A and B are shown apart, each in its own frame.
Chain A
């Protein structure tokens, strides 16, 4: 069965610290996509990134970077020099094989203190 595990329930850091959010997934598919979403205190779910399993290169977008490792079935998310505005719940997600469903991990709540 396909599954997404975010073992870190909550992380607290002080501003300017780097922080990594872990995501481990299970799938039998040979090709698949992985997603990260952010849910700030306002409550909306905001898309951050989509990654194709063919592409294992790390991706960087400003202070955000993603490390995709197929060998360990992980798709980790790092925020460099965290800011208070990064405080949110972050979700990793995976489509279910042969369906249009997207399953989400349980989320990691990140709190960045000034």
Chain B
């Protein structure tokens, strides 16, 4: 199994630019999560999907952030326009739906907004 695949691994952009982060979950996992990690706030859950449907986006910081899951094997997290305070590591994770199941994380996308 290839695990959860995220791209790009590193992204450096200028303030105001659009950023799109991508995630391919593990095949057979029907829940997908986007987390953000910063020194100040630790690991924060931004949004999660069950069976491609967004269930809870209460962690999405502002309207500049949006996430989609058009099918079971692909999700995107978009920031438009980006700001320096969005600089963080963004993790995608997947699992079979159930709070008891193990969440498998991708390697993360490190975003730097100048």
Contact = CB atoms under 8 A, between A and B. Distances in A.
Contacts of A42: 107
B31 interface: yes
Interface of A: 33, 35, 37, 42-47, 50, 52, 91, 95-96, 99-107
B50 A100 contact: yes
Given A43-B89, A44-B105, A47-B104, A103 B99 contact: no
B101 to A, nearest CB: 8
Tell me the dominant secondary structure on chain B's binding face: strand
Contacts of B33: 102
A47 B102 contact: yes
Q: Which of B56, B98, B103 has the most CB of A within 10 A?
A: B103
A102 B103 contact: yes
Interface of B: 31, 33, 42-43, 45, 48, 50, 55-56, 89, 91, 93, 97-100, 102-108, 110
Contact of A100 (B31, B89, B102, B104): B31
A46 to B, nearest CB: 8
A45 B42 CA distance: 13
Contact of B91 (A45, A47, A96, A106): A45
Nearest to B48: A100
Nearest to A106: B42
A107 to B, nearest CB: 7
A100 B100 contact: no
B105 A91 contact: no
